[in-house]
A and B are shown apart, each in its own frame.
Chain A
C-alpha cells in the first residue's frame, strides 16, 4: 500500500515538476509569473492530438511536433506580447497581467475555433500494468516519469555546460550586468521561452494522453505553479522538488487521511510551509518579484 501510494504520488509529482519547470525558467530571467504557460501546455496537447488523430503521424512524430509547436507558440507569445513591454522597461507586474490576458485570449480562441469538446488520445500504450514489488505501474506513467526526469536533466546540463546556459544563469542573477558583458538579451529571452514552451509541449502531450484534451486543461497548472513556489520560484531543482513534494503529499493525504478533504489539508500544509519559508525551499529571497 505504501509503495503503491508512493509510486502514484511520484508519477503525479513528475507531471507537476515538468510543468513547474516552465514557470521557473521564465521567472528566473524576467521575474514574473508567466500565467500563459498553462495555455501553451493546452495548445501543445491540441497540436499533439491533431497530429496523431487527423494527420496520422504516429506517436513519436506527433510528440516531437507538439514540442516544436508549443516552443514556437511560446516564442510568438514573447515576441508579440512581452517584448514590447520588456523593451520599455515595464515593471514585472504588467508582464504578469499581460500573461493573464494572453492566457484568457488563447483559451477563448480555442473555444471559438475548436470547440469545447473533450478529446482523448488514441491508446498508445495498451491498457496493461508492470509489476513492481507487488505494486502496479502503467507503462505510460513509467515512460512519462523517466522521460520527464531525462528532459529535466538535459536542461540542467544545457544550463551548466554550455555557453548559452551560462549566459542564462548569469542573466538570472543580474540582467543588466549580463547585457553589459555582451549577452544579447533579446536572443536570450527568446531561447528561454523556447525552452519553457518545449517543456510545455512535453507536459501537454503527457497530460493529454493520461487524461484528455480540452480548452481549460491549462488550469491544472495552478498546482504546478504552487509546486514551483514551494520549491522556490526561479530555481530549477526547486521546481522539480516542489512538484514531487506536492504530488506525493496529495496522494498520501487522500489515502491516509481522506480523499474529500485532500486539497483542504494539503494546501493548509503549503500555506504553513510558506509562512515558515517565504522564498520556498531553494529560492533566493528577493523583493519586488510578482
Chain B
C-alpha cells in the first residue's frame, strides 16, 4: 500500500516537471521566433536605408501572445510604422532607430526576464511598455538598477511611478494619465460643461480604483466651489444599492459619479432610475465596455464617462488611416496611440539630451514639456513622472452606443 503511494507521488512529480518544461520551452520558442522575425524585418529596413551609422536600439516589451495580445500586436505594428517614418526622415541625431520587441505575455515574471534581456544582451537605451500596471511595477526593479528608463503605455495605477508617498522611481515614466486623474476630469467636465453645482458619489469601497477616483472627484469638485451632497459606498459583490441611492436622491444632486466596474454601474443606474432619480450619471474608463449597455439598458442612456482614447478622436484620424492602409485592420485602442506618444517623448528626450546615456536620458524625459505628440500636448510632471493635463476623452451613451463627445483638457 505504501509503495503504491510512493510511486503515485513520484509519477505526479514527474508529470509536473515535464509539464513545466514543456510550457516554459514553448514560451521561449515563441519569444525567440518573435525576435527572429523582428531582426529579419529590421535588417531589411536597415539595408533599404543603407544607413551605416549604428542604430539607436529601443526596447519594446509587450504581450504578443495571450489575452492581451490583441492590443500588444497593434502596439508593435504602430511603433514599427512610426519608426520607419522617422528613419526615412533621417533618424534621430543622425542615427536610425531600431525597435526590438519581445513578448512578455502580460506576465510579471516573464516581463522581468524580457527587461533583463533587453538591457543586458540587446543594450537598448530605453524601453517602451509594458501596458499593465502590475507588470510595470515588476520590471521597475530591473530598470532602476540598470538605469534604463521605461515608458509605460497604459499602466494607469499611480504606484507605477510613485511606489510610496514622497518616493519617485527615477526611471519609470508613462504616457497615459493615472487612474485617479479621471476623477478630476469627470469633476471638471461636470462642473464646467454640464453646469453641475451639486454632485453625489456612489463608489465601491472594496476597490482601490473606485475609491481613488471617488476621492479625486470629490477634491476637484470641492475646489471649484461645487458641493458634494452625498458620498455613499458599497462593497464589491453587492447587488442592491437602493438604500444608498435613496439617500442620494434626497439630496437632489445634478450629477452622480459612479466610478465602478461596468456591472455595478449598470445595476446602480437601473436602481437609480427605479427610484425616480433623474440626475446625469458619470463614470470612469471601466464604463467603456459593451456590457454596460447590455446590462444597463435604457438606464445608462445619456450617461458620460472618461476614457483614454477613442476612434473618433479628430487628432488621430490620420494615424488611423495610415495604419489601416498598411495593416488592413483598425488599430486596437488605446495602446497604439499611447505607445506612439511614448516614442515621440523618447525621441524628443534623446535629441535634447544629445546622448543615450541612461541618467541623462531620464533627466531629459523628466523635463519633457509642451511636446506635440499624437494625442495632444504632453508635459511631464517632474515630481511624479505622470503626464500633466493629459487630454482625456469624454464619451456618452447614446441610443445604445458609445459616442465621442469631446477631448477634455483639465484646467
Question: Hey, which bits of chain A sit against chain B, CB under 8 A?
Answer: 1, 4-5, 8-9, 11-12, 118, 120, 122-123, 126-127, 129, 136-138, 140-141, 211-212, 220, 250-251, 254-255, 259-260, 262-263
Contact = CB atoms under 8 A, between A and B. Distances in A.
Contacts of B243: 5, 8-9, 250-251, 254-255, 259, 262
A250 B239 CA distance: 13
Nearest to B269: A127
B246 A212 contact: no
B274 A140 contact: yes
Given A4-B249, A259-B233, A260-B233, A254 B267 contact: no
A259 B275 contact: no
17 contacts: A4-B246, A4-B250, A11-B242, A126-B298, A127-B274, A127-B297, A129-B274, A129-B276, A138-B274, A140-B274, A250-B243, A251-B242, A254-B244, A254-B247, A255-B244, A259-B232, A260-B233
Interface in B209-237: 232-235
A120 B294 contact: yes
Contact of B275 (A122, A136, A255): A136
A250 B205 CA distance: 17
Contacts of B244: 254-255, 259
B213 to A, nearest CB: 17
A223 B81 CA distance: 57
B105 interface: no
A123 B275 contact: no
Interface residues of B, number: 29
A129 B274 CA distance: 6
Contacts of B249: 4
Contact of B298 (A11, A123, A250, A260): A123
Contacts of B270: 127
Interface in B241-285: 242-244, 246-247, 249-250, 263, 266-267, 270, 273-276
B315 interface: no
Contacts of A251: 242-243, 246
B373 interface: no
B122 interface: no
B291 interface: yes
A254 to B, nearest CB: 4
B275 A1 contact: no
B295 interface: yes
A137 B271 CA distance: 10
Contacts of B294: 120
Contacts of A129: 273-276
B268 to A, nearest CB: 11
A212 B266 CA distance: 10
A212 B263 contact: yes
A120 B246 contact: no
Contacts of B36: none
A125 to B, nearest CB: 9
B56 interface: no
Contacts of A220: 239
Q: 8 tightest CB-CB pairs across the interface, nearest first?
A: A136-B276, A138-B274, A254-B243, A129-B276, A120-B295, A251-B243, A211-B239, A127-B273
A120 B299 contact: no
B32 interface: no
B267 to A, nearest CB: 6
A138 B269 CA distance: 13
B274 A211 contact: no
A136 B240 contact: no
Given A212-B295, A250-B243, A254-B244, A1 B273 contact: no
Contacts of B291: 118
Nearest to A126: B298
Contacts of A211: 239-240, 267
Contacts of A137: 274
Given A11-B242, A118-B263, A251-B246, 6 more contacts: A120-B296, A141-B274, A212-B266, A250-B243, A259-B234, A259-B247
A230 B107 CA distance: 48
Contacts of B239: 211-212, 220
Nearest to A120: B295
B174 to A, nearest CB: 31
Contact of A127 (B205, B232, B263, B299): B299
Nearest to A125: B274
Contacts of B296: 120
B208 to A, nearest CB: 15
Contacts of A141: 274
Contacts of A140: 274
A4 B295 CA distance: 25
A126 B250 CA distance: 23
Interface in B285-304: 291, 294-299
A1 B250 contact: yes
A251 B242 CA distance: 8
A127 B266 contact: no
Contacts of B250: 1, 4
B297 A120 contact: yes
B240 A260 contact: no
Contact of B240 (A12, A122, A126, A127): A12
Nearest to A11: B242
Most B C-beta atoms less than 10 A away, residue of A1, A12, A126, A127: A127
Contacts of A212: 239, 263, 266-267, 295
Contacts of B273: 127, 129, 138
B266 A120 contact: yes
Contacts of B235: 260, 263
A4 B232 CA distance: 17
Most B C-beta atoms less than 10 A away, residue of A8, A9, A250: A8
B295 to A, nearest CB: 4
Contact of A260 (B205, B242, B246, B297): B205
Contacts of B297: 120, 122-123, 127
Contacts of A1: 246, 250
A5 B232 CA distance: 15
